[in-house]
Amino acid sequence: MNSNMPDFDYLVVGAGLYGAVFAHEARKKGKKCLVIDRRAHTGGNTWCKETDGINVHYYGAHIFHTNDKDLWDYVNSFVEFNRYTNSPLAFYKGELYNLPFNMNTFHQLWGVKTPAEAQERIREQIASLNITHPANLEEQALSLVGTDVYEKLIKGYTEKQWGRDAKDLPAFIIKRLPVRFTFDNNYFNDKYQGIPIGGYNKLTEALLEGTEVRLNTDYFKHRQELNQLATNIVFTGQLDEFYDFRFGHLEYRSLRFEHDHLQQPNFQGNAVVNYTEREIPFTRIIEHKHFEFGQQPTTVITKEYPGEWQPGEEPYYPINDEKNMQLLKQYQELAHAETNVIFGGRLAEYRYYDMHQVIAAALTKTRKLF
């Protein structure tokens, strides 16, 4: 027997959804995985911190939604999901509006009662602008929904999100804006949506059951010895960091979260309220108990502040502009040349993924391999 044989088939760097699904599927096929994460917990950004019986979405709201029945059955095989439906509200100068833009919103804005009246309002506003070729995000949004919806519900929120004036953002960011002429506040069109009963940690823990996990373990501080433990590497961290930022940093928008534990049973009556004024520095307030219809005597709210990302901070949203896409190509060329490294997930692929997309990507990869 060769004593130099590595202990594991796969070293999985990152215990988020991609890494956890990969490890689970590999284990089912008799492969041995070691999962490591530099954080003190598994689950990546889906991790929930339990406070007074409330599962706090510590890194921002995570709402699962998909049209794929197989994927829905897959996640429900680990933990049962509830029937939570995302119906956010928008707060603008003391008024509340329903989202996404629908007949409730148009009634709140203009007092209109029929789809024909709402369509006419929007048509009139668009016609008066004479925008034929939108040159930026502001013009693109105005040409889709008119002035009132744009000024009250899009402009400030978008400018906070991106840290730029809407006139300085490219038009392609908003290809379309979903406008519904029905009284329906269901934000997602997907057939299946919900939150794991008992929180997302239940999903991650079930996926990683039977797999060795080492937390508080920074791959880049122990790279050489960790690499020797496994035949292959599954890397779910930042792609540019894997290559020591050889060509420079891929850029992100970042988020900062301010969590408050309040001694009252109900703060805002809804899980998600967006604050669409530019002058209010946070983009939204999340009240976590409403994700699971909680009846606890206290509540936890989180204010979400978007910000410029600096190297070393937590990366959230990739900035898919031309400069970063060129940089990404250079890193991808290096990645394609690897023979025993798999790059997967939001950071390693430098793309915005919803949870169902991350899980689907990991399942696709494992099916090809095993």
Check if 351 is active-site: no
Burial class (CB within 10 angstroms; exposed 0-12, middle 13-18, buried 19+) of 308:
exposed
Whether 284 sits among the annotated catalytic residues: the reply is yes
Catalytic residue from among 168, 209, 260, 352 = 352
Name beta bridge partners: 8. 230
Is 354 catalytic? The answer is yes
Query: Which one is catalytic: 176, 244, 279, 333?
Result: 176
Catalytic residue among 37, 159, 292, 304: 304
Helix (H) or strand (E) holding 328: helix 322-336
CA nearest 101: which of 56, 64, 149? 149
Q: Catalytic site residue 164? A: no
Q: Kindly name the residue from 253, 278, 305, 317 that is annotated as catalytic.
A: 253
CA 174 to chain centre: 17
**Which one of the listed residues 84, 97, 180, 349 is annotated catalytic?**
180
Structure token digits, residue 8: 């594991």
249 class by beta-carbon count within 10 Å (0-12 exposed, 13-18 middle, 19+ buried): middle
Amino acid occupying residue 243:
Y
For residues 185 and 102, the answer to whether their CB atoms sit within 8 Å is yes
Closest by Cα among 242, 199, 187 to 82: 199
Q: Which long-range contacts (CB under 8 A, 24 or more apart) does 71-76 make?
A: 71/356, 71/359, 71/360, 71/363, 72/192, 74/359, 74/363, 75/196, 75/203, 75/359
DSSP, residue by residue, 343-369: E-STTTTTS---HHHHHHHHHHHHHHH
Separation CA 254–CA 315 (nearest Å): 5
Q: Which of 97, 219, 284, 350 is catalytic?
A: 284
Q: Is the peptide bond before 196 cis (omega within 30 degrees of 0)?
A: no
Catalytic site includes residue 256:
no
Is 352 annotated as catalytic? yes
Active site residue ranges: 176, 180, 253, 284, 304, 352, 354
